[in-house]
Chains A and B, each alone.
Chain A
Amino acid sequence: MMERIPQYLFWILIFPGFVFTVLIGLVASWVVRKVSALVQWRVGPRLYQPFVDILKLLGKETLVPRGSQKALFFAAPLIAMTAVLLLSTMLWRIAFDRIDFIGDIIVAIYLMVLPSLALILGSSASASPHAAVGTSREMKLVLAYELPLALALVVIVIKNGGQLNLAQIAQNNVVFSISGLLAFLVALLCVQAKLGFVPFDIAEAETELAGGVLIEYSGALLAIWKLAQAMMLVALPLFLVLAFLGGFTVLWAGIAKYVLILVLLILIKNTNPRMRIDQAMKFFWVYCGFALILAVVLAGLGNYYGIGWL
């Protein structure tokens, strides 16, 4: 254990951890902004813009609201960033080495809740009524997409014969079946909601809550939030690639899969207006829920009768 510490440090710090993930994440966030701009007939930012934004935020004053719970207010972005860092290191290692690392698919799904939870705690600690409304919405959004995500997990597990090991799951193309496709599409929407992208940016809702959960964050703390969000833009699609699309068997194919998911996310983001929270809950619980119950039944039947494409 002791002699492996330098290696672990390298993994988490440089590759495939912090430096690598942040780099890809910021480039991906540039892609999001650029494509959104093109869709809206604007020119859009230059490639270095997300990097400059982070640097600029680091140099800005950090404001702390009076009456807030300061320790948690400062800790929340750190927890979020750490959780995404752990998740992305774990997923990258599984994608590149095709061996088990740290956790299985259930662990991955639970680690994906952590950034949202940190956001909820941070905003709840910031003593602002806007943030409190945002807290409530973010939590309800988590509740909304956890149900279809649990069902999607069931589909993946059925399709892999009870296997939980992500490296093993990544060997299969779950998406090449009716149930797998349904589960993939719904999981994609869940990722959309986890990223806080339109139409699920209900908790931030700049136009009504003035930033909601993030309203009181500024300066270095906001910079860390932005880093965490950029890293999520890497980790969450990567999870979809591993769980549904057959992982990184060939490097360029893996990159193509990641870009495909990114493009889908951007398209959904740019073609939909924001939902209300009750609409979002109904959407995930009723429509996505029913679609996935159908998927689970199909997957079960397919498994029982040995029909792969069901």
Chain B
Amino acid sequence: MSDLSLNMLFSTVLVFLPLVAGFVLLFVPNRIKGITKTLALAVPAACFGVSVWLFILTATGSFAYSFSVLEILIGTLKLNLLLAAKPLGVFMLMFSCGFGVLITLYSFKSMAESKRLNEYFGALLLTVGGSAGILLSENLLFLLIFWEIVTASLYLLISTGGRKSNFAATKSFAMIGASDAAFLLGIVIVWTLSGTLIISQIKLPTDSALSIVAFLLLMVAAITKAGAMPLHTWVPTSGEYAPASVMALLPAAIDKLLGIYLLVLIVRQLFVVNSEVLKLVLTIIGAGTILIAVMIAMVQHNLKKLLSYHAISQVGYMILGIATGTAVGIAGGVFHMLNNAIYKCCLFLCGGAVEQKAKTAELDKLGGLAGKMPITFITCLIAALSISGIPPFNGFVSKWMVYQGVIDMGVNQTGITATLWPIWLVAAVFGSALTLASFVKLIHSVFLSRLPDKLKKVKEVSFLQTAPMLVLAFLCVFFGVFYYFPLREFIYPALDIEFGTAIFGTWDSVLATAMILFGIVLGLLILLVGLIARKVREVPAWTCGEVLDNNEMIIPGTEFYKTVSSMKGLKQLYAGQEKGYFDAYQQAGKVGLGLTAYLRWLHSGILPRYLTWLTVGLLIILFIICDIW
């Protein structure tokens, strides 16, 4: 095929086809389900296939995709929608389309009872197309427009979750929308400083106040989308009310990809971060997010809310890794983004499956589901071990790389951020232990412990739902054991790092896994000896002679960490958090209410007072215009 037709094909299929199809689906009547489902599956599948093709073409260097779709001239301002393949964008695009396919498959069953199916799948397609636009766009302004499409479709998607989800959708839209305003302002400043909107032509040093402000504004947009503290609160609120598949698609997977994509873009492409303050700010956000979010996650009682706080906490590792500015740290941060998208998506899907079958997501009411939902349990366990950074799964590798990045920064760089490296390292390592604790609680309360009488009839979800989970769990294992494969194929080319130069630690994961397998065989043999010698017998659990019925014997995991949450000092913080003192949305809401109250007070309805205001204002304007002083 000629280059032009290839260019047209990629632009059409990856960006415009899902956008148009999604827009059409929004208005298709709900009775026509056949077309909806066909389109909803065919379009992301086509996108995925084409994005893989584009990735291979770009990676082998046989074709450089770059296409100017349209040019607009407004006065002297030339806007052109330039789409181009960047190594970083292309590999993320492949994964975001992949997530789109998996979530669509899952949603066929999980959303079957929804009354707004067309709207749901329409918004899902808009998300896929919008994120393709973001990842391919070379023009900052069009990047923002695609960014807004994803924000708007997130609003639609969250609001399909039933009555209470409207509040969550509004909150998410308000917070991300506000950060998008910051994005716009940041773009304007960047444009003023550099005179262009084409990403590859911008390289601003962060030495003037204006460029630092621009950096911070763009950073706010990136970390709000990714869900880092202190602008994270939309994630847990929507986590509680939105459908699990929506959480799995956006806050867990695609929003992370997009947020971290933008962050990498501004740190490595748009700006030269030579300001120590910016580095410190990023590092504190990273380390603080890891620790604080996981501390809150530990005491949650709702399955989906707990997962949401972990979605926040994990962003900390990515930001910390990128903030170190070392090759291994940045690679680790981006790899962690990929890994997090995989296991967090899997966890939300498992959570959704449990909620769908047990009709509740409250940890107190669940238990003992491992036997009833074996596939959900196994995939959830693998994803939980991955997120807790247990070797040999994928989360361990990327965390390990981030740790190395922090150590590398501490040893080889100067400045206050580098000198304080022990703090960042301890926050990251300890955060990983807290994550493990939180997931032990989850696994115990949902899958182990004892089966409550009410859940005796629960069954495993259908294959359409378990298949995506199995794929994701397989990726968790594969990317963990053969970690050099994603690093060599995806991460290093995207960041322009030479293979084999970044990592300075040792982790022979293949040999270790082989030895683990061998050890398990050995253990099985020992077990076999014992089992041949004497038979296995089933007995009631020993309760020291007391007669208890089943429900009395259930100890839910929600009580596990009372010791922590009632510690001196932590107790007050938890109480404050519970009341929303640290929620930027609530605090901004209070300020807004105060402001309107003040305006209302001014609006007294007394005519003479209005006249006085008018006269005073007029006088002031006159004074200024006429330059009286």
Contact = CB atoms under 8 A, between A and B. Distances in A.
Interface of A: 8-9, 12-13, 18, 57-72, 74, 77-79, 81-83, 85-86, 89, 100-104, 106-107, 109-111, 113-114, 117, 120-121, 124-133, 135-136, 139-140, 142-143, 146-147, 150-151, 153-154, 157-158, 161-162, 164-165, 210, 215-216, 219-221, 223-224, 227, 277-278, 281-282, 296, 300
Contact of B530 (A68, A127, A161, A223): A223
Contacts of A82: 515-516, 519-520, 522-523
Contact of B433 (A86, A114, A146, A165): A146
B390 interface: yes
Interface string B547-584: 01010011101011101100100000000000000000
Contact of B527 (A63, A132, A221): A221
Contact of A114 (B390, B504, B518, B526): B390
Given A102-B508, A106-B403, A165-B506, A224 B448 contact: no
A133 B527 CA distance: 27
Given A59-B533, A63-B537, A215-B542, A69 B524 contact: no
Contacts of B531: 62, 220
Interface in B501-532: 504-508, 511-512, 514-516, 518-520, 522-524, 526-527, 529-531
Given A82-B519, A86-B519, A106 B400 contact: yes
A215 B441 CA distance: 19
Contacts of B440: 117, 120-121, 124, 135, 139
A223 B533 CA distance: 13
22 contacts: A59-B533, A66-B538, A67-B541, A82-B520, A89-B515, A104-B506, A110-B391, A113-B436, A121-B440, A121-B443, A127-B553, A128-B542, A139-B436, A139-B441, A143-B434, A146-B433, A151-B426, A162-B408, A220-B533, A223-B530, A281-B564, A300-B422
Contacts of B519: 12, 18, 78, 81-83, 85-86
A69 B526 contact: no
Given A62-B534, A106-B400, A210 B544 contact: yes
Given A102-B511, A140-B564, A210-B542, A113 B534 contact: no
B538 A64 contact: yes
B449 interface: yes
Closest 5 CB pairs of A and B: A220-B530, A82-B519, A162-B411, A146-B433, A78-B523
A142 B544 contact: no
A104 B504 CA distance: 10
Contact of A161 (B411, B429, B526, B535): B411
A59 B518 contact: no
Contact of B391 (A63, A107, A143, A227): A107
A78 B527 contact: yes
B74 interface: no
A300 B420 CA distance: 10
Given A129-B548, A221-B530, 6 more contacts: A58-B530, A74-B527, A82-B516, A86-B512, A139-B560, A143-B437
B407 A157 contact: yes
Interface of B: 368, 370-371, 374, 389-391, 396, 400, 403-404, 407-408, 410-412, 419, 422, 425-426, 429-430, 433-434, 436-437, 440-441, 443-444, 447-451, 504-508, 511-512, 514-516, 518-520, 522-524, 526-527, 529-531, 533-544, 548, 550, 553-555, 557, 559-561, 563-564, 567
Q: Is the interface of A mostly helix, strand, loop or mixed?
A: helix
Nearest to B536: A62
A223 B526 contact: yes
Contacts of B514: 8
A143 B523 CA distance: 28
B482 to A, nearest CB: 13
A301 to B, nearest CB: 11
A113 to B, nearest CB: 7
A110 B390 contact: yes
A199 to B, nearest CB: 17
Contact of A61 (B389, B400, B535): B535
The listed residue with most B CB atoms (<10 A of its CB), out of A18, A114, A154, A227, is A154
A219 B440 CA distance: 26
A124 B449 contact: yes
B422 A154 contact: yes
A60 B550 CA distance: 28
A103 B538 CA distance: 41
Given A62-B530, A143-B434, A154-B422, A164 B404 contact: yes
A12 B407 contact: no
A147 B507 CA distance: 23
Contacts of B506: 100, 102-104, 107, 164-165
Given A61-B535, A78-B527, A135 B444 contact: yes
B407 to A, nearest CB: 6
Contacts of B530: 57-60, 62, 219-221, 223
Contact of B515 (A12, A79, A130, A164): A12
Nearest to A210: B544
Nearest to B433: A146
Given A102-B506, A153-B429, A300-B422, A129 B555 contact: yes
Contacts of A18: 519, 522
Given A59-B530, A78-B527, A85-B519, A150 B426 contact: yes
Given A143-B434, A154-B426, A281-B564, A64 B536 contact: yes
A106 B622 CA distance: 70
A140 to B, nearest CB: 6
Contacts of A282: 567
Given A60-B534, A142-B437, A219-B534, A132 B555 contact: yes
Contacts of B450: 67, 127
Nearest to A162: B411
A153 B425 CA distance: 9
A212 B268 CA distance: 52
Contacts of A107: 391, 400, 505-507
A138 to B, nearest CB: 9
Contact of A277 (B368, B524, B563): B563
B417 to A, nearest CB: 14
A103 B448 contact: no
A125 B370 contact: yes
Contact of B422 (A103, A223, A296): A296
A136 B441 CA distance: 8
A310 B440 CA distance: 39
Contact of B407 (A61, A136, A162): A162
Nearest to B513: A86
Nearest to B378: A71
Contacts of B448: 69, 72, 121, 124-125
Of B400, B516, B526, most buried by chain A (CB within 10 Å of CB) is B526
A154 B425 contact: yes
B408 A133 contact: no
Contact of B505 (A101, A106, A127): A106
B411 A129 contact: no
Contacts of B507: 102-104, 107
Contact of A64 (B515, B526, B539): B539
Contact of A110 (B389, B508, B548): B389
Contact of A224 (B437, B505, B523): B523
A60 to B, nearest CB: 6
A102 to B, nearest CB: 5
Given A58-B530, A111-B391, A66 B564 contact: no
Contacts of A227: 526
Nearest to B434: A143
Nearest to A151: B426
Given A78-B523, A139-B437, A127 B449 contact: yes
Contacts of B437: 139-140, 142-143
Contacts of A109: 429
A79 B391 CA distance: 12
